[in-house]
């Protein structure tokens, strides 16, 4: 049977990998929900290579089963979304931990025009033994808090497995995470693209399986955290880099005139060297932010940013080269001063407490100048319009 996208109102999508113990009850509840509410819809099972007969059980209960070759929670859902025929999709795990007979709040919000409707288990209730204590009190709250901080998302439960969305809106997000981090990817990209989001209380029950879940707490928790950081260059690179740069500059300015004492502790040229390292590392991190942000915007992974656009304009190649050369010349001038100081002592042993106060800033300026020039070149390369240039070259090469 040929299915056309959006020829139904609702697809209830269940990823499946060896769920023979629970797939039947989940499909029956979902089918009963569609029938009792008079909704034109389907129950779609995205099978990820089950070898326990889950496919036949789901088909016998009236579900449409689509095989998904690529392994992983996210891969199964991506394949299911592509195969779904409904204008709306409500996805949920096939382990009977969510009640597919009580999807009314999701349908109501979707019909009201919301593009992503998230279930919230902390609002709806978590039954005893339904969620491990590690997930309930550490994993989910911490990762959700990080996601809300980094992306200013309104979602209070980033990892709820029961959620509904408008198919066409979610397809435009270009989701591609194959694993459990798919749950975070959907929320993050929907927030960045400013889709209309809503939350509804959702009850989580103990699943009906006798086998352990597919989720691996520490591995999948790390994958979620890694994704959250990778999609936020400002927190991964810019803020840490700015903190290093400013603290290094402040410390260097404090120590250049003389040694300093605080609570009986002496701070001298050794601390000055570490301050210089902080300046260099901080500037490099900020450069990485510009590289990552520019690449992500041009690749369509992140929306455009006016501030970054202005910074790219201010740091265009010609300006970067001039600023970098200015830093290098200032550093060489300090190096000449240090050389004269050494010459005045017949090129003999020097007092590091005095000589390093010129040598350390000199080396720092030279390093920064070279970094500014190279960073400007790389930023310029990242902004090349390769596709248009290739098209122009091909056009030029055509025989006349």
Which of 168-182, 213-227, 244-258, 311-325 has the lowest average pLDDT?
213-227
* Site of tokens 């969510």: 98
Region 12-24 average pLDDT: 95
Strands 260-262 and 197-201: unpaired
CA–CA separation, 66 and 151 (whole Å): 34
Longest dimension (CA), the chain: 97
Instruction: Report pLDDT for 211.
Output: 76
What the block records as the tokens of 250 is: 């402040």
State the pLDDT confidence band at 6, using cuts at 50, 70 and 90: low
Residue 139: name the closest of 119, 122, 162 by CA. Answer: 122
> Would you say 332 and 361 are in contact if contact means Cβ atoms under 8 Å apart?
no
Q: 260 forms bridges with which residues in the sheet?
A: 267
pLDDT digits (tens, 9 = 90+) for 127-167: 998 888 888 888 889 999 999 999 999 999 999 999 999 99
pLDDT at residue 25 is higher than 90: yes
Region 366-381 average pLDDT: 92
State the pLDDT confidence band at 114, using cuts at 50, 70 and 90: very high
What the block records as the tokens of 228 is: 């959250």
* Site of tokens 């033994």: 129
Phi, psi (degrees; rounded to nearest 5) at 262:
-145, 125
Alpha helices by DSSP H, listed for the chain, are 23-37, 54-60, 73-83, 104-111, 121-124, 133-134, 140-151, 167-171, 182-192, 217-230, 233, 239-255, 269-298, 306-314, 317-343, 352-382, 386-397
State the pLDDT confidence band at 1, using cuts at 50, 70 and 90: very low
Instruction: Report pLDDT for 65.
Output: 97
pLDDT at residue 391 is higher than 50: no
pLDDT digits (tens, 9 = 90+) for 281-317: 999 999 999 999 888 888 777 777 777 777 777 778 8
Residue 176: name the closest of 191, 193, 188, 160 by CA. Answer: 188
Phi, psi (degrees; rounded to nearest 5) at 15:
-70, 145
CA–CA separation, 195 and 189 (whole Å): 9
What the block records as the tokens of 295 is: 């690449």
CA–CA separation, 276 and 273 (whole Å): 5
Instruction: Report pLDDT for 298.
Output: 82
CA–CA separation, 4 and 11 (whole Å): 12
Instruction: Report pLDDT for 266.
Output: 86
This prediction has a pTM of: 0.78
What the block records as the tokens of 310 is: 């202005």
Exposed/middle/buried for 104, CB within 10 Å: 0-12, 13-18, 19+? exposed
Which of 47-61, 97-111, 303-317, 356-370 has the lowest average pLDDT?
303-317
Region 255-264 average pLDDT: 88
pLDDT at residue 168 is higher than 50: yes
| The dihedral sign for the CA sequence 153, 155, 161, 167 | negative
CA–CA separation, 361 and 347 (whole Å): 20
What the block records as the tokens of 136 is: 């309930």
CATH number for 8-230 (one of 3.30.360.10, 3.90.1710.10, 3.90.180.10, 3.90.550.10): it is 3.90.550.10
Instruction: Report pLDDT for 392.
Output: 47
Coil, helix or strand at residue 297 = helix
pLDDT digits (tens, 9 = 90+) for 211-246: 777 677 788 788 888 888 888 899 999 999 999 999
pLDDT digits (tens, 9 = 90+) for 180-220: 889 999 999 999 999 999 999 999 999 878 777 767 778 87
pLDDT at residue 27 is higher than 90: yes
> Would you say 65 and 47 are in contact if contact means Cβ atoms under 8 Å apart?
yes
Instruction: Report pLDDT for 265.
Output: 87
Phi-psi region of 70 (alpha: psi -120 to 50; beta: other; left: phi over 0): beta
What the block records as the tokens of 234 is: 């400002």
Q: Delimit the domains of the chain by residue range.
A: 8-230, 233-392
Phi, psi (degrees; rounded to nearest 5) at 261:
-125, 135
Coil, helix or strand at residue 236 = helix
pLDDT digits (tens, 9 = 90+) for 39-91: 999 999 999 999 999 999 999 999 999 999 999 999 999 999 999 999 999 99
Instruction: Report pLDDT for 349.
Output: 83
CA–CA separation, 26 and 397 (whole Å): 60
More confident residue, 324 or 395: 324
């Amino acid at each position: 049977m040929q299915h056309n996208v959006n020829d139904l109102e609702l697809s209830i999508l269940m990823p499946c990998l060896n769920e023979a113990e629970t797939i039947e009850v989940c499909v029956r509840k979902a089918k009963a929900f569609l029938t009792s509410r008079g909704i034109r819809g389907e129950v779609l099972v995205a099978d990820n290579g089950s070898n326990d007969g889950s496919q036949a059980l789901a088909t016998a209960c009236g579900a449409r089963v689509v095989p998904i070759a690529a392994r992983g929670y996210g891969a199964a859902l991506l394949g299911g979304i592509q195969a779904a025929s409904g204008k709306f999709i409500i996805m949920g795990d096939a382990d009977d931990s969510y009640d597919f007979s009580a999807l009314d709040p999701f349908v109501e919000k979707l019909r009201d025009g919301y593009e992503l409707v998230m279930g919230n288990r902390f609002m709806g209730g978590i039954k005893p033994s339904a969620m491990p204590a590690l997930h309930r009190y550490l994993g989910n709250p911490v990762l959700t808090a990080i996601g809300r901080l980094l992306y200013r998302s309104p979602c209070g439960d980033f990892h709820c497995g029961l959620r509904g969305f408008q198919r066409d809106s979610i397809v435009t997000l270009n989701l591609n995470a194959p694993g459990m981090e798919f749950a975070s990817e959907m929320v993050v990209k929907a927030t960045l693209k400013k889709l209309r989001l809503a939350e509804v209380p959702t009850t989580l029950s103990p699943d009906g399986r006798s086998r352990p879940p597919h989720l691996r707490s520490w591995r999948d928790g790390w994958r979620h955290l890694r994704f959250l950081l990778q999609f936020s260059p400002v927190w991964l690179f810019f803020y840490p880099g700015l903190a290093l740069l400013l603290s290094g500059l402040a410390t260097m300015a404090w120590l250049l005139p003389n040694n300093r004492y605080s609570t009986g502790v002496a701070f001298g040229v050794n601390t000055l060297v570490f301050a210089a390292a902080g300046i260099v590392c901080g500037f490099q991190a900020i450069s990485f932010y510009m590289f990552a942000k520019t690449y992500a915007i041009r690749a369509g992974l992140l929306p455009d940013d006016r501030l970054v656009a202005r910074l790219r304009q201010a740091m265009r190649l010609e300006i970067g080269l001039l600023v970098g050369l200015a830093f290098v010349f200032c550093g060489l001038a300090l190096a000449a001063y240090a050389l004269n100081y050494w010459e005045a002592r017949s090129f003999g042993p020097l007092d590091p407490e005095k000589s390093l106060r010129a040598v350390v800033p000199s080396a720092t300026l030279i390093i920064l100048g070279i970094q500014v020039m190279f960073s400007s070149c790389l930023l310029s390369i990242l902004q090349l319009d390769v596709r248009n240039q290739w098209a122009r070259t091909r056009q030029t090469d055509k025989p006349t």
